[in-house]
Structure 1
Amino acid sequence: MNSSINEITSNKNKYFKRFKSLNMKKYRESERLYLLEGQRYIDTAIELKLKFEALLFDIDSWNQMELKAQNFYLEAAEVFVFPSHLFKEITQTEQSQGFLGVINMPEVLEIDFIEKSMADKTKLNILLLDRVQDPGNLGTIIRTADAAGIEFVLLAKGTVDAYSPKVVRSTAGSILNIKLIALEEVEVAISELKTYGFNIIATALEGAKDYGESSCYKSRNCLIIGNEANGVSAEILNMADNKVKIPIFGKAESLNAAVAAGIMMYKLNSL
């Protein structure tokens, strides 16, 4: 592919309006596209041969680029160049490198995809998020899951959109590496996971064992992290095979959801 350079100078332009609209969930979902910001992450996605709808650049960033780099991006997708004030409207961030990718969302995965992937695996740990609402928390959890070797992150209904710009930025590129599965009916999904041999572990404050208790874990584990304010729902807790808690040694009432998820994922990874 060897595309042309499209220079956009007006906020009335149809491409400007289209790309800016991807900051809203309904347009991301209808077009199955999201915004990926940052040169390093865009370069990684290109190297992974992921499909871009377009590549967007602040005109200053584009003009400062060597010809070899410009050709690299022109080979990858259609290029659009914007003056700084318009580019900032699309990125909606204060400090930007001037690089944005309009990238295709991966194919929609169903829960049975996990079973298909288990054929050659004796051990598998996955993560299920129950109504995690903060974009920074979700992004950090996805990033940590990637670091901890968690391949699948399941998103129960009510969890913040994983492809919102704030979440994507917080993943620091890990959105490209993790397989996300959206769940419409979380209880049905948990029942199905049990038929695949998964041990369901929910974090809880009451009636829970210390997270260091080895009997709480098996070779296949589904870790559930709950809502920041209310924790894991009662319905899901009732389906858990094991409930665990991370001890609090100071005066804090609880841990941040992303911190708790990180501790638990690394615990799973150490088994």
Structure 2
Amino acid sequence: MYVLEGARLCGEAIEKYRNGELDIYAAFASEKALERYSQYIPTELFEDEKAVDFFTVSESVCDFMSGTKGSQGVFLIAKTDERILADADISAGKRCGKYIVLDNLQDPGNVGTILRTADAVGVDGVVMCNNCCELYNPKTIRSAMGSALRLNIYNAGELSEVCEVFAKAGVKTFAAVIDSDATSVAKCDFSGSCAVVIGNEGNGLLKEDADCCDEKITIKMHGNINSLNAAMAGGIILWEMFREDNGRDTKL
């Protein structure tokens, strides 16, 4: 189980519950929140004894429960959706699939931000491998702003196993590295089925992991900067992956 906090996020989760796409065990809200965010919290949904348990709590309890300052006073406890990456999950055989792979990222804020960006551009799936931080970490869920509910997110072990699954499906894999000899993302051909691997914040991808991929790519930089925040790098790469899909000029 995990916790969802905030009116809009909980509202989206409730819609998924109504559609049978998410299991919710309990809901909590203050009286002020029920009045202020009534459009997101349909209390009639919780009146059935067989439905979700609903609790009205005080403002002070909300502050105690909250992981942030200035709580909106709305919380849900939901069931996690753990999916292990398998050959059948890759949609390359049906259409041009595009994926982002997170390898050993440890900052939940970075993971959440990448999920939000991946959702915005329209990736087919996100793979989390090599002991990435917990998807259901409250900070990850907050940073993702609902994208964790919408995306196809898979767990995996070693990156080599992930690359094998993609290779069988005809998905080309790209390792994002800091290497002047690697292909610039601005010149990379992302037109086919592909997956980009983003490595750990401090160490990047291990050489043996990068070597598992079909090609190495990099973000060319100027001046004294030789690396970017993982979420920022992921955002740039995701934009380039979908540049052609968005009808934009592929030549910079």
Aligning the two structures, in what range does the TM-score lie when normalised by the shorter sequence?
A: 0.7 to 0.9
Seen in structure 2, the aligned counterparts of structure 1 residues 64 and 222 have a Cα distance that, compared at 3 Å, is closer
Offset at residue 257 of structure 1 (A): 0.6
Cα separation, partners in 2 of 1:203 and 1:169, compared to 1, 3 Å: same
Q: Deviations over 1:75-123 (max 9, x none)?
A: 66220122223222322221211111111122524322323x44421x1
CA contact (8 A) 1:141 1:262 kept: yes
Seen in structure 2, the aligned counterparts of structure 1 residues 208 and 65 have a Cα distance that, compared at 3 Å, is closer
Gaps of 5+ in 2: 245-252
Structure 1 match to 2:234: 261
1:48-86 deviations in whole A, cap 9, x for unaligned? 322211111134323666699432454662201222232
State the partner residue of 2:187.
Answer: 213
Q: Work out the CA distance in 2 between the residues paired with 1:186 and 1:245.
A: 19
Work out which of the residue numbers 78, 89, 110 in structure 1 matches 2:85: 110
| Matched length | 236
Alignment of 1:1-271 (within 5 A): 33-48=1-16, 49=19, 50-62=22-34, 69-74=42-47, 77-115=52-90, 117-121=91-95, 123-206=96-179, 207-214=181-188, 216-271=189-244
Q: Which has the higher helix share?
A: 1
Whether the 8 Å contact between 2:105 and 2:132 is mirrored in structure 1 is yes
TM-score by length of structure 1 reads 0.80
Compared CA separation, residues 204 and 66, structure 1 to 2 (3 A) = closer
Whether the 8 Å contact between 1:34 and 1:163 is mirrored in structure 2 is yes
Distance (whole Å) between structure 1 residues aligned to residue 199 and residue 37 of structure 2: 44
- Give me the whole-angstrom Cα distance separating, in 2, the residues matched to 1:73 and 1:65: 15
Residue 191 of structure 1 aligns to a residue in which SS? Answer: helix
Q: Distance in 2 between matches of 1:212 and 1:248?
A: 12
In 1, the alpha carbon distance for the partners of 2:8 and 2:169 equals: 37
Question: 1: distance between equivalents of 2:235 and 2:37?
Answer: 38
151 and 73 in structure 1: CA distance in 2 versus 1, 3 angstrom threshold: farther
Q: CA distance change for structure 1 residues 46 and 113 in 2, over 3 Å: closer, same or farther?
A: farther
Identity over aligned pairs, percent:
28
Aligned-residue offset at 1:47: 1.8
Segments of 5+ residues of structure 1 without an aligned counterpart are: 1-32
Quote the Cα distance in structure 1 between the aligned partners of 2:160 and 2:37. Answer: 51
Distance 1:155 1:128 in 2: 6
Comparing 102-111 with 37-46, which one deviates more in the overlay?
102-111
For normalisation by structure 2, the TM-score amounts to 0.85
In structure 2, what is the Cα distance between the partners aligned to 1:64 and 1:172?
20
Structure 1 stretches of 4+ moved >6 Å: none
Q: 1:174-196: per-residue Cα shift (whole Å, max 9, x none)?
A: 11111111112321221121111
